[in-house]
Amino acid sequence: MSETQIKIPDKLTILAKPKRFKVVIGGRGGGKSESVAALFAGMVHQSGCRAVCCREYQTSIRQSVHSLVSRKIRELELEGFSILQAEITHSNGGDIVYQGLARDPQAIKSIDDAELCWVEEAQSLSEDSLEELTPSIRGAGSEVWFTANLGRSTDPFSKKFIKPFEKQLRANNGIYEDDLHTIVWINYDENPFFPPELEAERQRDEEVMSTAGYAHKWLGEFADTVDNAMIKPEWFDACVDAHVKLGFEALGIEVVSHDPSDEGSDSKGLAYRHGVVFLDVQEKMDGDINEGGDWASDYCHEVKPDIFIWDGDGMGVGLRRQFNEALGPKKIQLEMFRGSSAVDRPDDIYEDGTDQNKKTNKQTFKNKRAQYGWQLRDRVYKTFLAVTKGKYIDPDELVSFSSKIKAIDLLRSEVCSVALKPNGMGLIQLLSKDEARKLGIESPNMFDSVMMSWAVPSAETEYSDYEDTPYHGSSGWMA
């Protein structure tokens, strides 16, 4: 049978061309799974090949695409198929089988004679599953297909198959091709078979859902935010190169801030800002806490900031001597941040831009981490208003992230995944790192590095009152 007999959106006809990796992403109603199921059935019908349909989590055949593929075979009236309880066979020798990967990623090796592989809900793939899958489907001319409604921009599937090609995808109407890949981004408005029942739901969602939630569900955008997130993705996006967009320079104090390893984690963060412009934000995924301290110290030797701040909660408290010895002779002012401690300038009024219900900092924030995290949130939102709404705001109240930051996508994911925690006293409080980790959110070390960089001594502090030692403690910080 020819591909014209299979009714799929015109944008997906490019999938008929042979390619090692074929990736179809997009929002709900784009016809991804329906089209791939039909194409798979047609290819087995034509060639008699062996096809395996995978997903990360599959504890029963009901969790597979078996019913979808079976329906497509019946709709297309394809002869020669026998639809069994847990597989589909064809009189030409071809068959379609199903495999879950999460419990045993190496199980795919038992189906290494497959010529076609389709992974549904590929955004859920673990790194282990992905590493085992692609080399296991290795026959001559074999193809691996993926369908996904994108998850986070930092998940294994996105990092391997989407992020490297994202700019080209967006610039070329959602299509990217090279020698190995065909990638198609398709949404409901490009699917001529989009059902009216879904259109009613889409219109309702457009009215009631958040911008980010709607964009993820219906436009296939990354889900780089969480419930009760403090900073929205569109706010962050406005801050990228905001100093260029709004025409101000990086001026004033230079600060490097460092978030050491958490207990049970090797990830570390570092941020470097000049005035309100972040010129660099990095993470380090290996080494112990002292090696991370050396990494941060070496960075300070290179950029020579005015102030170096590190997180002294938990394991970080033991780094004081290391930083004194490494940075003290360089005349870099050292400050240790304690996010769990009481707020700075507790009796000052928190200026939130309104005239009603004025409260002090201690009446507003649970602790320092909440105080400075919310201050970052205020800066990000003000920048969003200035960039997208044309509202004039003093540049000293804004924040800009240079697009030259190599980890800008991971930073965006972290910043937009920091959630607020309900507080019985009505105070602003952030989920702790341990609480976030239990929800599957990786430790936001880069966010914390950015956040704590604002905890610098206030201009009115009398530095002559400080001790002679380079370490100055945590008093007198600006809120």
Residue 472 included in any domain: no
Residue 223 included in any domain: no
Residue 172 included in any domain: yes
For position 306, which CATH number holds? 3.30.420.240
Q: What percentage of the chain exceeds 70 in pLDDT?
A: 89
What's the confidence (pLDDT) of residue 475? 31
Confidence of residue 315 (pLDDT cuts 50, 70, 90): confident
Domain shared by 333 and 440, yes or no: yes
What's the confidence (pLDDT) of residue 468? 40
Q: What is the mean pLDDT of residues 85-113?
A: 82
Q: What is the mean pLDDT of residues 376-403?
A: 96
Confidence of residue 389 (pLDDT cuts 50, 70, 90): very high
Domain of 132 in residue numbering reads as 3-190
Count up the domains in the chain and report the number.
Answer: 2
Q: To which residue do tokens 């070496």 refer?
A: 298
Domain boundary among the residues 134, 163, 190 is at 190
Domain shared by 93 and 167, yes or no: yes
**Distance (Å, whole) CA 118 – CA 393:** 51
In this predicted structure, which of 80-84, 327-331, 366-370, 460-464 has the lowest mean pLDDT?
Answer: 460-464
**Distance (Å, whole) CA 32 – CA 186:** 8
pLDDT exceeds cutoff 80 at 106: no
Residue 224 included in any domain: no
Domain boundary among the residues 129, 164, 190 is at 190
Residue 214 included in any domain: no
Domain boundary among the residues 155, 190, 225 is at 190
pTM, two decimals, is: 0.64
The Cα-based distances of 359 to 116, 340, 347, 454 in angstroms read: 63, 20, 9, 21
More reliable by pLDDT, 416 or 107 = 416
For 432-469, the pLDDT digits (tens) are: 877 776 665 667 899 999 999 999 986 444 333 334 43
pLDDT exceeds cutoff 60 at 258: yes
> Cβ distance 240 to 401 under 8 Å?
yes
Give every CB contact of residue 161 below 8 A, 6+ residues apart in sequence. Answer: 21, 23, 122, 146, 181, 183
